[in-house]
Chain A
Amino acid sequence: MSSLPQKLLRLVEAFPKAQVLVVGDLILDTYLECRAVGVATEAPVPFLEISGQTHALGGAANVAHNLARLGVKTILLGRIGIDREGEILHRLVEEAGIEFYPLGTESPTSRKTRVQASGHYYLRLDEEDTTPLEPHQIQALSQTLSEAMKRSQLLLVSDYDKGVLKNGFVDCLESIAESRELRIVGDVKPQNIRQWRSLHCITPNLSEAKNLYSQLRPGSTCPSENLELARELGEMLSLNVVLTLAEKGMTVSTAAGVSQSFPALCAAPKSVTGAGDTVLATLAAALSCKADLFDAALLANLAAALAVSHQGTYAVAAEELSRVIQNLKTDGP
């Protein structure tokens, strides 16, 4: 057997030995299954009866879920509200086998509720509080962070712009990571990129990348070639860029400007929801096992293909990934 699939398999096998700390915006994804009863009496709007609800981990919690399913020892830190949604999120995180350090707050747990009736998605209700963490809250977390980072090989930050990864807290994370010599990999919103000094790698999608470019070079036209875009971003920010391109696959560029593109491997994707989380988690898992950036991206690309072949958000398991690698031809994808 050739070295590439073997190398990748060994990486996946090494996952259970790795530990990653995930910090970011926790979201509870709720799906309300409803039955249409008729038109409301006082307004020309649908009147639906809720017949069931399911919950899933979202945001940074979904990234952590993906890591756990890949077999990586995962620690998750984020904020939840003192409410029913917070309890549900807590339960789901623990059921996924993730070590959880929640910061409980008066603000509501961030949630996205999707209302569905007869198979049709009707509306989404989002509830969140995006105030940044207070200094006393950051203080309360710093000891846990320091201890968790001591045990981890990588810090993963998942920014959904819900207020956690901002200002003082970002400084706190970076300084502890620096003292522990821990690399930071993250999905950071373009408007928040300037908060960070020492990111090792980011995973923007195309629109986020374009947004980033126009922020860093206002007035200039964005490169039309994705490879060019990834390279310029990497050079401007001095970090590695994994640019995800949905049906066009992904393009990776190091801070030094070395780049490579990977085609999308799923011919008929069912749903792209949550695929970005899968990419980030797989990338982080591989990097925490000392993988080369391009091997890590290759693995992430394989995982993404698996994720999008499922309906809705899907966390890829280590065994599935291993099976896919074994089916690869010797001369690689």
Chain B
Amino acid sequence: MFVQDIVDQFASQSILVTGDTYLDRELYGKVTRLSPEAPVPVVKINSRRTVPGGAANVAKNISSLGGNAVLFGLFGDDPLSQEIARELPQENIKLLNLCPSNYRLPEKYRIFAANQQLLQMFHRTMDPAEIPSLPPELELKEAGEIQGKVLVLYDQGYGFVNQLLIEALGHLTKAKELKLIVDANPNHISWYGKASLYTFNADESLQAAQILGKSARTVEEAGDVLRSQLDSDVLITLGAGGMLILEGTKPAQKILATRVPLADRVGAGDSVTAVLALCLAAGIPLIEAAELANKAAGIVVAKPGIAYVTPGELMNLFHYEISHLLMESMSVKQRLLQEQLPAIEDLVKTIIHTYQNEKTVYSFGNGGSAADANHFITELVGRFQVERKAFPAVSFSANEILMTSIANDYGYENTFARQVDAFVKAGDLVVAFSTSGKSKNVVLALELAKTKGARTVGFTGNTAGEFPRLCDICIRVPSDNTPRIQESHLAVVHIICELLEKEFARHLS
């Protein structure tokens, strides 16, 4: 199924979310000194960001992806709850307060300096014993009017989720035929019953297995223990390792993480939960849902702090990789400029002299390098940008009749040398392309060219092979990556042609 088709269905989904809601407070600052009282850093805070966290963050992720979220829980009259209550409806999240009370939301603090997290603190504002208990039958009258298909339970162990709640949610999901997804807490493993899906991170899965008294040395083993204990599908997130999916009785399947520049993992789990919830509501099979959730995680970890994913971002399947590869190409060209300027200058002068002396240019290479040689010759004989006389140039890689015939009779290593023998004269310029500098047919041709008194030029990469020995001028691209080397070769070919033409155009009447 195309990503577009899946994501398009998000907008019509309504997801119920409950569990531990808290305030996520991020403090950003600078450290320039230690305290005079002890060798500890002094962080001078210069900005703060407060966002709803936990279950509320899952709701925000759902809304960011275009879905509708109904967040229910305990929200008190305290300033913190008021902050949440104010913000959420602005983001298309409906808020249901189960019973207004003196409950105060917990707060989580993350301290950042120089883009690194220094510390996390948690302020549990109430004693778990003080937390008001919920009525045994949750009557979500308003929720009943909403066409929700999925219920997400977010259990961080901060006190909101207890056995009574889990039982009540069990009744609710049965009565309204809701699919239940649980972002599980290992400490509560014995309270959980059958659900549509349980999610754990790697450490949590091992911890949960241990609490159940089952031995699990690997995450795969833990996953099997959990899926059988819970009689449910289990998804385990593995950070940079991707995800492990244990569906039904099928063997565990692994999805690899997308390679991204990591900012931090804050909030990635919540984005995963949101995508899974929306996909399950749309009836998407678990594996496809997990692949999309994995993609979402990749997008979120590249953004610092708590971040969200938009449908547009999810649909840009390859944006990151494309940027990365283009930047890689650019950086190779930058290094080329820093290291090979003198050699390129030399080459420009040499080709100008070659044509001033009315000599000929010959070029060759294999595969992509053959295409580069042909490209070069075409610009010389035909035209680059400016009207001028035709420059004499021949490619030994352009005639497959000739090459197959020589190869057949004399072996492939002689395909270029035989042509050098036929055509190259003293004073001619022989330009060889080989990213490794080791291709046998290229090396033999260069050796012969030198004995005939031709000037030799080599376009190669970092390894350079035989080229430094055999070439009067060596354009050595500082990279070991064949495609990156070839991209730089073509850039230099164009530069040569442009400057050569300019020089000759200057001297025309």
List residues of A whose CB falls within 8 A of some B CB: 32, 34, 37, 40-43, 45-50, 114-115, 121-128, 271, 273
The interface size bin for chain B is 20 to 34
Are B42 and A124 in contact, with the CB atoms below 8 A? yes
State the Cβ distance, A87 to closest chain B Cβ, in Å. 12
> Could you write out 27 A-B pairs with CB less than 8 Å apart?
A32-B121, A34-B121, A40-B117, A42-B117, A42-B265, A42-B266, A42-B268, A43-B265, A45-B117, A45-B118, A48-B122, A49-B123, A50-B121, A115-B119, A115-B121, A121-B37, A121-B38, A121-B40, A123-B41, A123-B43, A123-B111, A123-B118, A124-B40, A124-B41, A126-B42, A127-B45, A271-B37
Are A37 and B122 in contact, with the CB atoms below 8 A? yes
Apart from A43-B116, A50-B121, A126-B29, what 4 extra A-B contacts exist at CB < 8 Å?
A40-B117, A45-B117, A49-B121, A273-B37
Q: Is B49 an interface residue (CB 8 A)?
A: no
Please, how many angstroms separate the alpha-carbon atoms of A35 and B182 in the complex?
Answer: 28
Are B121 and A42 in contact, with the CB atoms below 8 A? no
User: Which label, helix, strand, loop or mixed, suits the secondary structure of the B interface?
Assistant: strand
B residues near A48, Cβ cutoff 8 Å? 119-122
Which chain B residues in 26-48 approach chain A with CB under 8 Å?
A: 27, 29, 35, 37-38, 40-45
Are B37 and A47 in contact, with the CB atoms below 8 A? no
State the Cβ distance, B61 to closest chain A Cβ, in Å. 16
Residue among A47, A115, A123 with max Cβ neighbours from chain B (10 Å): A123
Are A123 and B40 in contact, with the CB atoms below 8 A? yes
Which chain B residues in 103-133 approach chain A with CB under 8 Å?
A: 111, 116-124
Which 9 A/B pairs are nearest by Cβ-Cβ distance?
A42-B265, A43-B117, A40-B120, A127-B45, A50-B123, A47-B120, A121-B38, A124-B42, A126-B44
Q: Is B345 an interface residue (CB 8 A)?
A: no
A residues near B37, Cβ cutoff 8 Å? 114, 121, 271, 273
Which residue of the partner chain B has the closest CB to A112?
B42
B residues near A42, Cβ cutoff 8 Å? 117, 264-266, 268
Are B124 and A49 in contact, with the CB atoms below 8 A? yes
A residues near B271, Cβ cutoff 8 Å? none
Please, how many angstroms separate the alpha-carbon atoms of A114 and B38 in the complex?
Answer: 11
Which chain B residues in 183-241 approach chain A with CB under 8 Å?
A: 201, 203
State the Cβ distance, B44 to closest chain A Cβ, in Å. 5
A residues near B42, Cβ cutoff 8 Å? 124, 126
Are A125 and B40 in contact, with the CB atoms below 8 A? no
Which residue of the partner chain B has the closest CB to A128?
B44
Please, how many angstroms separate the alpha-carbon atoms of A37 and B37 in the complex?
Answer: 25
Are A126 and B122 in contact, with the CB atoms below 8 A? no
A residues near B123, Cβ cutoff 8 Å? 49-50
State the Cβ distance, B59 to closest chain A Cβ, in Å. 20
Please, how many angstroms separate the alpha-carbon atoms of A260 and B124 in the complex?
Answer: 55
Which residue of the partner chain A has the closest CB to B204?
A41
A residues near B122, Cβ cutoff 8 Å? 37, 47-50
State the Cβ distance, A34 to closest chain B Cβ, in Å. 7
Which residue of the partner chain A has the closest CB to B116?
A43
Are B45 and A122 in contact, with the CB atoms below 8 A? no
B residues near A40, Cβ cutoff 8 Å? 117, 120
Binary interface encoding of chain B residues 467-485 relative to chain A, with 1 for a CB under 8 A from any of its CBs, else 0 = 0000000000000000000
Please, how many angstroms separate the alpha-carbon atoms of A271 and B35 in the complex?
Answer: 13
Binary interface encoding of chain B residues 37-78 relative to chain A, with 1 for a CB under 8 A from any of its CBs, else 0 = 110111111000000000000000000000000000000000
Please, how many angstroms separate the alpha-carbon atoms of A42 and B117 in the complex?
Answer: 9
Are B44 and A45 in contact, with the CB atoms below 8 A? no
State the Cβ distance, A210 to closest chain B Cβ, in Å. 15
State the Cβ distance, A35 to closest chain B Cβ, in Å. 10
User: Are A125 and B120 CB-contacts (below 8 A) given A41-B201, A42-B264, A273-B37?
Assistant: no
Please, how many angstroms separate the alpha-carbon atoms of A125 and B110 in the complex?
Answer: 12
Are A46 and B120 in contact, with the CB atoms below 8 A? yes
B residues near A49, Cβ cutoff 8 Å? 121-124
B residues near A47, Cβ cutoff 8 Å? 120-122
State the Cβ distance, A30 to closest chain B Cβ, in Å. 12
Residue among A45, A48, A124, A273 with max Cβ neighbours from chain B (10 Å): A124
Which chain B residues in 262-280 approach chain A with CB under 8 Å?
A: 264-266, 268
Are A41 and B203 in contact, with the CB atoms below 8 A? yes
A residues near B119, Cβ cutoff 8 Å? 45-46, 48, 115, 122-123
Please, how many angstroms separate the alpha-carbon atoms of A127 and B120 in the complex?
Answer: 17
